Structure 1
Amino acid sequence: MPVYTKIEKDKHILFASIRLMICVGHADGYIGNKEMDRIHEIVNSEHFTLKERQILMDDMDYPKRPEVIVEDLVAMTQAEKLVMMRKLYHMALIDRKLSPSETKEIARIACLIGISEEKQHQVEEWIREGIVWRERWKDIVGE
């Protein structure tokens, strides 16, 4: 197993996260404009090689199975795995709704990267509480 610097490891995790976000974006049958725009925004804000950019653009048109992406993932700490799961939910919620197919895909990816069912449940509850809180805030400010 290769040894990575902290910066290399973080970039590798980010690259895999984006590829998995694309999987989540496609979970409900197609990747929407908001999801595509967000992925482009992330990709353009980071320094990726031409090859990496080509892989990401190819994934947008022809998404890979999460199993294939996770195979190449560097070893991650529990915290890094949970942050990745949170990012997947963030991508799924970009259109302000969470479909059952997106939830199922995130759970599948979480299993693949080694997050226990208990931790998955905790993250999902935290996400759902955040959705409720955001809706209450809209009521408070009258939006």
Structure 2
Amino acid sequence: MGSFFIFGLTLYTNQVFHGGLWGTLHNKSVKPKLEITEGKLNENGLSFDVFRVEGVDVYGAWIIGIELKDAQNNVVMNYTQDQLAKLPEHAIENYYIAKVKPGKHSLIAPLGAKAKMKFNSSDILKLPSGTYTLKMTDISGASWEHQINK
């Protein structure tokens, strides 16, 4: 009787947490998930915190694009994967042992990494007041957005 209970509990948790036997199977460790917070746009430039909260733990999220759009959806800043791979050390301020860092072809964010990103190009410094949307794109096609007011 106890083994049937354990078997039933296992099927139940598989169904609830992963979509199991009935429904769409979902595994949170397959695709990365980033959280973007603390977005600021001021006389010092653009800064924001990025935190990798989900995904495969042995691989990083490979960020291939960071862009900033104005309220009319015009791109006012765009960093490509090649530019992100060459970011200087002073543009990334890591909080934890797991570090967001430039890789060979993109920006790498391993699981558990949290960092403050800083961009201060002349284009960013000249932006007028308004609402902007920051978008980060992973190589998997997943993207995350964050609203920033200046």
TM-score if structure 1 supplies the norm length?
0.28
Q: Which has the higher contact order (CA 8 A, sep 6+)?
A: 1
Q: Which has the larger radius of gyration?
A: 2
Per residue, is there more helix in 1 or in 2? 1
Per residue, is there more strand in 1 or in 2? 2
